Structure 1
Amino acid sequence: MFDARGLIGGLEVTLDVDVLAGAYPDREAPAPWPDALAAHGIRAGAVAGLRAALFDVVSGNDETLRLAPPHVPVGVVDLRDPLRAARELDRLAAAGRRAVRLFPDEQGVEAGFPSVRHVARRATALGLTILTGGDVRRFWQPFAGIGANVVFLDTHFYHLGDFLVAAAEEPGFHTSTRLLNSPDALETVVAELGADRLLFGSRAPYYEPLVPLLRLATGGLKPDEIAAVAGDNARRLLT
């Protein structure tokens, strides 16, 4: 019988970079995110709120920003309204927050829209790390050449080559592990860019954390590289 948890062994994820609080209106609500993390031994999450992404930015952010350590609250802006988004970035930075998450797919925004470039520049000027969804083959472009720290949350292993060539010229480009499930994807990122460019992400509770946990635990990374991916890198960027 296949023993997935046995293969994970003593792996400890100290900070998951991709956690969602709240609900999508068109999906069945999953288990609460703290329960999803606890069930897989993940100690803390960088948590962004779906209320802020889908309904009301300010009140949604206020809910998430009340989270206490060890969890890390992540602000959200609405890319459909770049002027208000810039004001919300100012508010997040003034409150001492270190990260903002972008939801381009959910908000119907494309990489070439001026709003994305505007928000990217403003967040970078404020020293915020940007966590972004979207196809990395398109969404790398608004963040290039501006000194941005970005974590691409949706990098698929089919598109890993595109991420690697873009990130080779952009030291602030990082990727989540969530969709890097091919046999050598994590190892390729580390070999090409270094372990500091890779962050564990699961998108709990909407996706199953077991798969990225298995991939990290059973790959060919060294113990210090695993520790970096499993939380040290996220803590450096987000706290």
Structure 2
Amino acid sequence: MSEEFTAENPLADVNTRISKRFRGYLPVVVDIETGGLNAATDAMLQIAAVVLRMDRQDRIYPAATYSTHVEAFEGANLDPKSLEFNGIDPDHPLRMAIPEKEALRKIFRPIREELGLTGCKRAILVGHNAFFDMGFLNAAVERTNFKRNPFHPFSCFDTATLGGLAYGQTVLRRAVEASGEGWNSREAHSAIYDAEKTADLFCNIVNRWDAAFGFPGE
């Protein structure tokens, strides 16, 4: 899932029907690890995004993962409890963190390229308790005055809600396990791992729905 699919990639055999499945929006799974709970004051420390595609059988699947560690912005709050929870040492020399604006550029560029390939008009954020990740993403965009944000500014898909509907479980680990996927607690709370597991959960729910009720609008 680490391969970068771009407009120049000869493997870019894309089923553009994904643009019809979600009313012109491209679902992209996002997970953000932070230095606290307040998007306005607390640092964004790691971000991962999983681009979803649709195969020739109209089943969506995780196609590529993009991630980076992020430098805490100047004056950002770093709550020790949050750092203990996600295991991030903001000052670790091997983190290779980059400034927020550069991080956004790195994550957004392949998403914009995927929009061009699929014919989708905008990306829509998929997250577990999506309001949290959307809040930090939007705060970073505003803080850095980033002009080319591919995401819809307020609409999203929340797998906590969808997991509750499909499996009666709202906790990510429990919903993933209920869907038949495995869970590694030692890898959890990494942005990459949580984003990829959220992507698996979202794809499972959408594909099960479509198998039962057909492609929407047809």
Instruction: State TM-score, norm by structure 2.
Output: 0.28
Give the TM-score normalised by the residue count of structure 1: 0.26
| Higher percent of residues as helix | 1
Greater relative CO (CA pairs within 8 A, separation 6+)? 2
